[in-house]
Amino acid sequence: MDLKDLASLKLGPLEPLVARIYRYAKRFPAVRERLEAEYAPIMDELRKSAKPYAEKTESYAALPLEGVRRNDVLAELRTLDEQESARWQDGYVSGAVYHGDPEHIAFLNEAYAITSQTNPLHSDLWPSIAKYEAEIVSMTANMLGAGRATGASVCGTVASGGTESILLAMRSYRDRARETKGITSPELVVPTTAHAAFDKAAQYFGIELVKVPVGPDFRADVAATKKAITKNTICVVGSAVSFPHGVVDPIEELSELARKRGIGFHTDACLGGFILPWAEKLGYEIPPFDFRLPGVTSMSADTHKYGYAAKGTSVVLYRNYDLRHYQYYKVADWPGGLYFSPTFAGSRPGALSAACWAAMVSIGENGYMDATRKILETGAKIRAGIESIPELRVLGDPLWVIAMGSDQLDIYRVLDFMTKRSWNLNGLHKPASVHIAVTLRHTEHGVAERFLDDLRAAVEHTKTQPAEEGGMAPVYGMASTVPVKGLVTDLLERYLDVLYEV
Ligand SMILES: *Cc1c(COP(=O)(O)O)cnc(C)c1O
């Protein structure tokens, strides 16, 4: 039996048992050897794409004895960067680089360069960074309804990204529930479409993750969520918008469920936080999702996505100071001195906060409004274009993160064809689909049209040509059909190992 045979197995309720047997069997060298042989061809394929410079540049497995001349180092950085930047600059990439205008980038780089030696861990040395971070949090909170939230004193911190914002908030809920309610087996209720960061938080912090299937519109199911809440629930989660399908969960109804039970509710606005408030101002019908709802007790919003800051910042917000205090780390009896830090890291790059602040104050409300208008107009154009292709169907009711599937074609082959035409889109599964997160790059002249032209060609090709070898279609096909999740996660583990090969 090989991996392809496995893909056709239907285990159903036996899956947990088979998964255990698999984990057990892996301890035996003969089984592991056999598995490695099965993985080998897939790993070769992945290695080729992950290590394109293997033969073309010098590799440093150990420090060079003599330092390489700075000019040569910079030349090398430039050479490699040139190979990689055209794709996002020309608008071929879903998400990833959300602004990308050369003048904006040069401005952020200058802000970084001015402050590159700062570290907010030493708040006494660099009070300027504390000022920037306080203002980033305050500007984000006010954008997300803090000023109009009754009985709230919305506060927060800057984090290194959406994942850290989410990890921090979930850990705060866990610790508060343990202290104030004595909950020692905490549970977190999330829709299946919630970001993987909640899964990560559950794994890291010993929280049981209760995943609730979404409705046919890909939004969280309120009735099913209500049933999933128990006396051990520490927090309920909704997304605005969800990463896979770009839809807004019914935050009002979900947060009311939580409020009535006296538990936390987190709106994950990592993706939508810097678009939805402006969309609402532009007259789009946006259901309420922020602190204006009394049940929303925390939020995450990514400045390094549609806030147009450089990568490495996000904001986690709390409805009141009490929850934020659970996030802080402080220790009084360490021989190294009095030590305290707001997030997981110790030393942090103050320059990223300075650059984030620079992005926000230089763009301003009107700048964000203009950007949002362009993105939503392009999103509507792309959505209409997809809807005009009979073989494809748009999932849910999205504005600018647009997922498509097909009842007739293997959507992963469509994805592979798009990849051959330079596109970098996101493969999704459960159900099999592909999305594009529209950024300012796609609002440039002719980009949306080129996307739709290529998409029509991809559908035509997939319809009329036999499947080719290689590409991601078999991997995604396998991930969605192989009944033993351990097999697929083992592959991911090996892929990470490959990334660290010199
Ligand atoms: C991107 C994203 C995250 C995680 O953010 P990172 O910055 O990648 O850590 C969480 N939730 C949603 C909805 C996102 O789109």
Cα distances (angstroms) measured from residue 21 to each of 15, 24, 25:
10, 5, 6
**Cβ of residue 133 lying under 6 Å from some atom of ligand 1:** no
pLDDT for 250 beyond 60: yes
Buried b (16+ CB within 10 A) or exposed e, 281-294: eeeeebebbbbbbb
pLDDT for 5 beyond 60: no
The pLDDT value given to residue 35: 82
The pLDDT value given to residue 374: 98
- pLDDT, tens only, 211-228: 999 999 999 999 999 999
Ranges of CATH 3.40.640.10 domains, the chain: 114-359
Residues 186-205 have a mean pLDDT of 98
- Taking the chain, what is the end-to-end CA distance rounded to the nearest angstrom? 33
**Cβ of residue 198 lying under 6 Å from some atom of ligand 1:** no
Residues 375-391 have a mean pLDDT of 98
Out of 29-43, 193-207, 267-281, 394-408, least confident range? 29-43
> Hey, what CATH topology would domain 114-359 get?
Aspartate Aminotransferase; domain 2 (3.40.640)
3-class secondary structure, 271: coil
Name the pTM for this structure.
0.94
Q: What is the rounded distance in angstroms from the CA atom of residue 16 to the CA atom of residue 10? A: 13
Higher pLDDT, 23 or 202: 202
pLDDT for 158 beyond 60: yes
3-class secondary structure, 290: coil
Which residue's CA lies nearest to atom 4 of ligand 1?
162
Percent of the chain whose predicted confidence (pLDDT) is above 90: 82
pLDDT for 471 beyond 80: no
The Å distance, Cα 38 to ligand 1 centre, comes to 33
Contact 225, 261 (CB under 8 A): no
Cα distances (angstroms) measured from residue 101 to each of 89, 120, 153, 434, 441:
8, 28, 36, 26, 8
pLDDT for 192 beyond 90: yes
Using alpha carbons, select from 216, 207, 217 the residue that is nearest to residue 241. 217
Q: What is the rounded distance in angstroms from the CA atom of residue 121 to the CA atom of residue 119? A: 5
The pLDDT value given to residue 481: 66
pLDDT for 2 beyond 60: no
Which of ligand 1's atoms lies nearest the C-alpha of 304?
7
Q: Specify the residue for token string 């800051």.
A: 309
**Cβ of residue 197 lying under 6 Å from some atom of ligand 1:** yes
**Cβ of residue 146 lying under 6 Å from some atom of ligand 1:** no
The pLDDT value given to residue 1: 45
**Cβ of residue 249 lying under 6 Å from some atom of ligand 1:** no
The pLDDT value given to residue 150: 80
Out of 264-268, 406-410, 482-486, least confident range? 482-486
**Cβ of residue 195 lying under 6 Å from some atom of ligand 1:** yes
SS3 letters across 13-34: HHHHHHHHHHHHHCCCHHHHHH
Structure token digits, residue 295: 């049940």
pLDDT for 381 beyond 90: yes
